[in-house]
Structure 1
Amino acid sequence: MEKDIFSNMNQSVIEKELMYRQIVEYSVETIVIHSDHKILYVNQSGAQNLKGTKEEIIGSCLLDRYREASKPAIKERIHKSMTENVSGELMEEKIFRLDGKLVDVELYCHPVVFGNQRAIQTTLRDITKRKEEEKQHKREIYEVSTPLVPVLDGISVLPIVGSIDIDRAHHLLESIPSKIKKEEVRCLVIDFSGIYNFCEIVSDFLMKITAIMRLLGIDLIITGIRPELAQIAVENGVDLSSTNTMATVKEAVKYHLDIN
C-alpha cells in the first residue's frame, strides 16, 4: 500500500514537471534557465527571439548577452536571488541577440530546481518597439515645448522651460541647427528664465550649443540665467566669457539691433 502511494506521488510529480516544461516551452516569452551563469535551457520562442538556435544558446555564458557596464549588477542580482531564495524585481535592461543587435528588454528572475540542481529562471520580454514609441512621444513633446520663436527679421528666441534631461539636450542639439538654417536666423537668443535645474547636463548643453553656434556664424545671446544658476554654472566649469549674456530677451534684442 505504502509503495503504491509513493509510486502515485512520484508519478504526480513527474506529470506536473512535464506540464510545467510544456507551458514553458510553448510560452511566447523568452525563458532562460541558468546556473553559475551557464545557460542550461532556453525555450523555442527564446531561441527565435535571440536570433539563434537552442544548440548555440544552451551551454553558453548568460553574461555574454549583457553589456559590460551591466554585468556587475546582473551578477549581484543573480547572487542575491540564489543565496536569499528570492525573486528579482521586474527591471528594464539591454541585451545582445546572437546577431549582435542590442535590444531593450523587460526581465525578471526567480530561483527554480532544474533537474537535480538549483538554478535561476529568467524571463525576458522584448520592449524595443515600446521604447521607440516612448522616444517618439518624447520628441513630439520636446518639439512643442521648445519652439523657435521669430521676433524680428533674422532674430529668433528659444525659450527653455522646465528641466533638461539628457534626451531633451540631445534633441535640442540636433534640431536647433536645422531650424536656424530653415528660418535663416542670424541671431539666436536662448532664454533660461523658465528653467529650474542647472546640472552637468545643462552645463554640457550650454558649452556644446555655444560651440555649434560659433561654427555656424550665428550670434548667440544667453538670457535669464539667475544668480544662483550662474554660480552653479561656474562651479560646473562652464565658461561663458566669450558669449553674450543678458538679463532679459528685450535687452538681448536691443543689443543686437544696436550693434548691427
Structure 2
Amino acid sequence: MQQKEEAMRRELELTKAQAQREQEMAVLKQKFQALRFRNQPKQAHPPTDQAPQPSESMTTETTLTSDFSVNKPAEAQAPWDIRTDIQNTGTFPDFIAEFKKNYLNDRWESEMCCELLAMTQGPESFWDYAIVVQAKNSLLLGVESHLTDDKLCHHLEAGMEDRLARKCDSEKLENVVLFKDWFEEVKLVDEALCADLAVFKTIAKNSREAGRRMSAARTCWICFVCSSMVFDQITMSSR
C-alpha cells in the first residue's frame, strides 16, 4: 500500500513538473513570436479620426511588448517570468543566450559534440543516418564544435556501413567537391545496395521455403516406404 502511494505521489510530481515545463516553453515561444513580430517592417496605416478601440480578444488574451516581457495580470503571471525577469534589447542572440542559460546545462556543448561524433549508420539507411547527424549538428550552430560541410562529410564517411563505404570508394565519390552533390550520390548508391539486398533476401527466402518443401516431401516418402516394408514383414510373418 505504501509503495502504491509512493508511486502515485511520484507520478503526481512528474505531472506537475511536466505541466510547469510546458507552461515555461509556451511563454518562451510567445516571446520568440514577439521578437519576430518586432523585426517585421512596419506598415503605414491611413490616419483615422477615431482612436483604435481595443478588441475583446486583446483584453482577454496575453499582449506582447516590444521586448521579451509579457503583460499579464499579477495572478496569472507565470513562475518563469517571476524567476527570470529578462531585461535586454530583444535581439535573437539574446534570446538564444537566455534559452541556453535556463534550459541547458553548463556542459551541453561537449555532451552534444560527443553524441554527434559517436553516431554511426548501423542497420539504418544512409538517409536516416545523415538526417539525424545533420539535425544534431544544427544544434551546435554558432559554437566551435559545429561541423562545417567538409568535416561533416568526413564524419559521415567514418560512420558509414562497411558495404556502403566500399561501394563509394569503388565509385570514386571522394572526387565530388560539393557536399550536397556528394550527399545525393551516396544516397543513390545506398538505395541501390538496399534494393540488391532486398532481392537477395527474397531469393534466399524462396530457396529456403523450397528446401523445406522438398525435405518434407522426402520425409513423407521415406515414411511411406518404411511403413510399406513393415506392413510386408507383418504380412509374411502372419502367414
Question: TM (normalized to structure 1)?
Answer: 0.24
If each structure's helix is expressed as a fraction of its own residues, which one has the higher value? 2
If each structure's strand is expressed as a fraction of its own residues, which one has the higher value? 1
